[in-house]
Structures are given as structure tokens and as C-alpha cells.
Structure 1
């Protein structure tokens, strides 16, 4: 990945692309290198781009003419694996969320996401991390989490699952909020911490649990709650 994150915008509404381009350009470390009105146009643009100029991330809408976003995500995963697909859509239905993630999307955001969430999602996807915030995280956890079972007997049962895995009380609080889809900024406000402290806690939690990213942590917490 280059120092500046290169982004391709794929949305059939020009006004949405223009708004996203202005939002991302204001970040300073993100560069919009192309726009496409649908999946067919996006693939044509990529085919005409030299390998060293390919975008790090493609922000993709779901419903578009000629080629749906889900199909574009699938094609990107196969033909341009170096370009991470992040879905940015107004559709909150579980079927779209799961279909896009199954097709290879690195993340799924709703269009009512905060600007900083969109920018942070682009950065994290470019680093190879999974990206889920708010509703998307909650719905994925609800879909994949196993049904609750009766607690086991013995002194271990008195401890919360995070505590049994070596997390401190504060790390447990952070893990719980990550599991609910909160951003670092939201966690910082809730726990009255700085964002830097929250990031350090998340890093320590991932290291202790040997997890790759926040999405894996959210699923880990849901399975043990």
C-alpha cells in the first residue's frame, strides 16, 4: 500500500460520488483516483490502469445498473485482490450484508455513517483489516452468534469469558463496546478515555486473544457473552 490510500468510488449517483470525494480529500492521506457509475464501468477503469496505479480500496454501492455491487465485490476479490472492497450503501437488510461479506467485501457501512467512520474504514481496509460499524456489526454478530447455553458449574463460571482469557476489567469494557459496534471515539466518550488509550487497549486485547482485527474481536465476544 502506498503512503496515501488510493480509493475508487463506485456509485450510480454522481452527487454521492462528489460528496464522498470531497469528504475523503479533506482527510489529507486519502486520494480518490477514480469514479465509476456501476460495476461494469469500474472493471473497465481498472483494466485500463497500470498495476502500480490500482486503488487500495473500492467504495462500492449495492444496487447499481448493469452490475450489482455484490457481483463487483466478487469480481474484485478474484481479479484485483489488492483492491479491498468496502460496501457503502443505504441498505440495512441482513441478506445484503451477508452476501457482500461472503463475496469478499472487507467491510460494510451504511450511508448514514459518520464521515470519520468512512475515512477510518478506508484506512483499515487498505491495511487488510475487516471493517464493520454500528448496525452492520450488530447484525452480523446476531446472525453468527450461537444460541445461549446454560452456564457451566464451578468457580470458572463466576468469571466473565473475557476475564477467563486474561483481560483486565477495563479491557473487558472496551471489548464489550467493540462487540456492540462502537468506534474508538464512541468508546473514548463512553469510558471517559482518550482515543489513544482506547487504541492501546484494543491492540492489547487483540494480542492477548490472538485475534486479527476488531471484527474478529466482536465475533469472539458475541460467542462468549
Structure 2
């Protein structure tokens, strides 16, 4: 039933084609190797080989294929095991169609997408394990890095820290998606962050996130 529903939802998207469906983890790995899709939507509890092991094998064997978890399980163990295995995102099956489509497109673009129900867990864990560090200073100034951000950049950073995609941030702040992408690039440059997760952790550690 879930697979049929996904097929219907994705069938309306002109830039997305469903290459196939697997019934277990072993088949998912084999089909990924044969079809080499851009994105694999991966369940976690499956016969023969669970989604964690299947994700790890796909990521290791096919580095160009993104694995996006779509599951009913929001427990910490499943969540962190999936991310450690190399999943680029984690969605719950009660996500609406627009969120799933946005996550697929985001995965292709190299973005990480976390369901709002689990995003807080991930960021709190990063915050917990991150080593305390004195904030870097902006070149030629004594002010903290975040003070170099404009009001709009701070707003984008706050949304990013909630695990939202560029498309979701654009809708929330009434901006074009391309504009949000430019803001995110500028934010990461100003904060010396290598990726969105580092920028989000920066925001949480300094109380900038909502």
C-alpha cells in the first residue's frame, strides 16, 4: 500500500521516475547496483537484510547513489544507525507527499533532509558530542562570527537549524529557493562551516536557533 501510494505521488512529478521496488534489503542492494538510481528510498525493518545494512552496502559500493530513509521508526537507535550507515536523510512515513518530493530533490542536490520530528534529536546529539571551542573571530574584527550575519541570514540560519530544506525555508520566509541557496552558501562561508550540519550546530550552541 505504501509503495503504491508513493508511485502515485511521484508519478505526478515530471523530473522524477520510479525505477523499481524491492521487497527486501538484499533485493534493494542488487537493484541499486543494476539500476544505479539517483536516490533510493529505504525502509528499515525488512526481511533478509535490514535497511541499516542495506544502506551501508549501497553507500559503500555505489557512492553516487543517495539513500533516503523512509520509515515509521523514530527511535534514536534506528535514526543514528541509519545516519552512521550513510543515509542522507530520514523521513517518517506520515510525511506528506510534498515533503517526500522535496527530500528526494534535495538528496540529488546534495542536501540533508531530516523529518522535523527527528531533526531536534540529531542536532542535540551533535551539540552534546561537539567539543567546546572558542568562537572564531571574523577577519579584522573582534565581533563573533554570527554578528557578521545579516538579519535575513540569521532568519535563514534559524530555519536551517530546524532541519528544513531550502524549499521549506523558501516557503516559510517567502523567498525564492535560489535566493535561499545563496543565503545558505553565504552563511556557511561566514561561519567557516563545511556543510549545513556544522552551520546548524553553530546556531544551536550559541542559542541562535528557535
Instruction: Tell me whether the two structures share a fold, i.e. TM-score over 0.5.
Output: yes
Q: In the TM superposition, what is the alpha-carbon distance from 1:91 to its structure 2 partner?
A: 0.8
Q: 1:162 aligns with which of 138, 146, 157?
A: 146
Aligned equivalents of 2:70, 2:108: Cα separation in 1: 15
Which one of the candidate residues 191, 200, 204 is aligned to 2:186?
204
The correspondence of residues 4-23 of structure 1 with structure 2, limited to 5 A, is 15-23=1-9
Greater strand share, 1 or 2?
1
Shift in CA distance, 210/33, structure 1 to aligned 2, threshold 3 Å: farther
Aligned to 1:108: 90
Aligned to 1:85: 67
Q: Partner of 2:31 in structure 1? A: 45
1:119 aligns with 2:104: no
Alpha carbons of 1:116 and 1:211: their partners in 2 closer, same or farther (altered >3 Å)? farther
Number of residue-to-residue matches in the alignment: 200
Contact 2:38 2:108 in 1 (8 A): yes
2:110 is paired with a residue of what secondary structure? coil
* Structure 1: gaps (5+ residues): 1-14, 153-158
Deviation at 1:89, TM superposition (A): 0.7
What value does the CA root-mean-square deviation take over the aligned residues? 2.9
Mapped partners of 2:144, 2:76: distance in 1: 29
**Matching residue of 1:72:** 54
Partner of 1:55: 37
Shift in Å, 1:135 = 1.8
SS at match of 2:19: strand
Q: Distance in 2 between matches of 1:116 and 1:91?
A: 20
Task: Confirm or deny that 1:33 pairs with 2:15.
Answer: no
Which TM-score applies when normalising by structure 2?
0.81
